[in-house]
Amino acid sequence: MGDLLLVGCGKMGGAMLEGWLARGLPAADVVVAEPVDALRPRTSGVRAVASTSDVAKTPEIVVLAVKPQSMDGVLPDLKRFADEGAVFLSIAAGKTLKYFASHLGTTAKVVRSMPNTPAAVRQGISVATAAGGVSETEKKRCHQLLEAVGQVVWVDDEALMDPVTALSGSGPAYVFLLVEAMAAAGAKLGLTPDMAMQLARATVAGSGELLKQSSEPASQLRVNVTSPGGTTAEALKVLMAADGIQPVFDKALAAASRRSKELAG
What is the DSSP annotation of 5-69?
EEE--SHHHHHHHHHHHHTT--GGGEEEE-SSGGGS---TT-EEES-GGG--SPPSEEEE-S-GG
**The predicted structure's pLDDT at residue 2:** 60
**The predicted structure's pLDDT at residue 1:** 53
Cβ contacts of 86 within 8 Å, gap of 6 or more: 5, 58, 59, 60, 61, 62, 109
Rg (CA), the chain: 21
**The predicted structure's pLDDT at residue 124:** 95
Cβ contacts of 3 within 8 Å, gap of 6 or more: 29, 30, 31, 57, 59, 60
Query: What end-to-end distance do the CA atoms of the chain give, in Å?
Result: 34
pTM for the whole structure: 0.89
Domain(s) labelled CATH 1.10.3730.10 in the chain stretch across: 169-264
Domain range 4-157, CATH class = alpha beta
pLDDT in tens, the chain (265 residues): 569 999 999 988 998 999 999 989 999 999 999 999 889 888 778 999 999 999 999 999 999 999 999 999 999 999 999 999 999 999 998 899 999 999 999 999 999 999 999 998 899 999 999 999 999 999 999 999 999 999 999 999 999 999 999 999 999 999 999 999 999 999 999 999 999 999 999 999 999 999 999 999 999 999 999 999 999 999 999 999 999 999 999 999 999 999 988 887 7
Residue 79 CA to its chain's centroid (Å): 25
Please tell me the distance from the alpha carbon of residue 14 to that of residue 39, in angstroms, as a whole number: 8
Q: Which residues pair with 109 in a beta bridge?
A: 87
Domain(s) labelled CATH 3.40.50.720 in the chain stretch across: 4-157
Amino acid at 67: K
Instruction: Give 5: exposed, middle or buried? Use CB within 10 Å, 0-12, 13-18, 19+.
Output: buried
Amino acid at 244: G
How do strand 61-64 and strand 4-7 relate by DSSP bridges? parallel
Question: 169-264: what fold?
Answer: ProC C-terminal domain-like fold (1.10.3730)
